[in-house]
Structure 1
Amino acid sequence: MSSIAADAGGSKATLWKYFRSKEVLFEAVVETATERLHGDALAQLSAPGDPLAVLQSFVIPLIDALRSDDSLTLQREVGAQAIRLPRAAALLRRRLVDDLEAPLSDFFAAHMANGALRGDNPDEAAWITLALCLGFNHRHLLGGDDMHRDGEVAEGAPDVMKILRRLYGP
């Protein structure tokens, strides 16, 4: 806590006033970081237009967010602390998966119901979409490849969309 207070330019007493434990402080960091990470992607799901185009506008910022330095740092830090702080690890899973899966399932349900997308299981479609987006992150998470340059489409997004078009396209 001393180190964190020094980095933040405050005192340990101030930290303890707002956060009753290191775990609560860590959870606050996870909450704040994940809100920034997937907020852009979630906003895309309510956009009007062709469902596959809307889905692509969700996939690209999500993969970008998952591959960002902030996201990778967060995933590694939570992974390192998961044994000591299991609630923080569960929170990261909820924020990076569960909080995305429900609105994505709603998106698929609406477009499957009106016939714009093929399929009959929106929960499965949401799960597959997130699994594909997260799956293209594994090389970078483990430190084996370079990030894409600014302005380029997120690595893996075209492949994710190719698979999703085959599975759910009209």
Structure 2
Amino acid sequence: MTDTEEPALGKREARKQDRRDAIVAAARRSFLEEGYAATSMSGLLKTLGGSKATLWSYFRSKEELFAAVIADVTAAFRQQVTSELLTPGEMEATLVNFCRVFMNKTAHPDAVAAWRLVVGESGRFPEIGRIFYQEAAGHIERALSGYIAQQIDAGRLRNEGAVDMARTLTGMAAVHHNRRLWGIETADSDMIDAHARRFVGYFLRLFAVP
């Protein structure tokens, strides 16, 4: 390959990435504002322009596009949660930080909108619940259960099943998220910190080795 071919290839790949990002951004707005059923590939073409063949060359189905949107919505959340759990530190402080990040991120308007979308439409479209679990909730569950398994191996926590233990903690942390979904509570950073410490306290009383 010549020196002149390499920059051209780089520009071509950059244009493809820009086009993909534009498709995901338009789909994100449509899914979160209009819902899953009301979003169509043909409707997105009216917004984006271009040909149907081009759109389908990036995403082969609406389900695949929805997965890309959920990955986009939750990317920073997943990265920060994973980073918290991989950072060496005292177990209680790590779990408190995890809960704090979890509650702060799930309070973001796009996260609330995505959750409402999944809850509201997964009955008619089971694929969106599966996609949401794979791209978001399942990732968090796997990261936390992996950390808990390490603490079990280190003798700090009783072994009651790392996955079930992770679900116990995230279930507590999601209580206030549910209230925000219902529109009866807003996010409060001071209260989030207090709740994170309280939930981890409950968790450790259940599972910590004396």
Q: With structure 1 as the length reference, what TM-score do the two structures score? A: 0.82
**Corresponding residue to 1:137 among 163, 177, 184:** 177
Rounded to whole Å, the distance in 2 between the matches of 1:75 and 1:12 is: 31
Query: For each residue in 1:50-71, what CA deviation from the matched residue of structure 2 results, as whole angstroms up to 9, or x when unmatched?
Result: 1111111111111111121111
CA contact (8 A) 2:104 2:192 kept: yes
Question: How is 1:40-59 mapped onto 2 (pairs within 5 angstroms)?
Answer: 40-59=80-99
CA contact (8 A) 2:152 2:158 kept: yes
Query: For each residue in 1:120-150, what CA deviation from the matched residue of structure 2 results, as whole angstroms up to 9, or x when unmatched?
Result: 222322121121122231100111112225x
SS in 2 for 1:137: helix
Distance 1:94 1:21, change over 3 A: closer
CA contact (8 A) 2:67 2:135 kept: no
SS in 2 for 1:118: coil
Relative contact order: is structure 1 or structure 2 higher (C-alpha 8 Å, sep ≥ 6)?
1
State which structure, 1 or 2, has the greater radius of gyration over its C-alpha atoms: 2
1:158 maps to a residue whose letter is: R
**Corresponding residue to 1:154 among 179, 192, 195:** 192
Worse overlay, 13-22 or 46-55: 13-22
2:57 maps to a residue whose letter is: K
Q: Which runs of 5+ in 1 are unaligned?
A: none
State yes or no: 1:166 paired with 2:205: yes
Aligned length: 166
Rounded to whole Å, the distance in 2 between the matches of 1:86 and 1:54 is: 34
1:118 to partner: Cα distance: 3.0
**Corresponding residue to 2:100 among 60, 64, 69:** 60
SS in 2 for 1:36: helix
Task: Provide the residue aligned with 1:125 in structure 2.
Answer: 165
Distance 1:6 1:147, change over 3 A: farther
Worse overlay, 154-163 or 126-135: 154-163
Rounded to whole Å, the distance in 2 between the matches of 1:29 and 1:56 is: 29
1:51 maps to a residue whose letter is: M
- Identity across the alignment (%): 25
1:92 to partner: Cα distance: 0.8
1:26 to partner: Cα distance: 1.6
Please, what is the CA RMSD of the aligned residues? 2.3
Rounded to whole Å, the distance in 2 between the matches of 1:6 and 1:153 is: 44
2:50 maps to a residue whose letter is: S
Worse overlay, 102-111 or 48-57: 102-111
State yes or no: 1:101 paired with 2:141: yes
Query: For each residue in 1:48-106, what CA deviation from the matched residue of structure 2 results, as whole angstroms up to 9, or x when unmatched?
Result: 11111111111111111112111111111223332443222111123333222222222
SS in 1 for 2:174: helix
Distance 1:10 1:147, change over 3 A: farther
CA contact (8 A) 2:70 2:136 kept: no
Rounded to whole Å, the distance in 2 between the matches of 1:118 and 1:24 is: 39
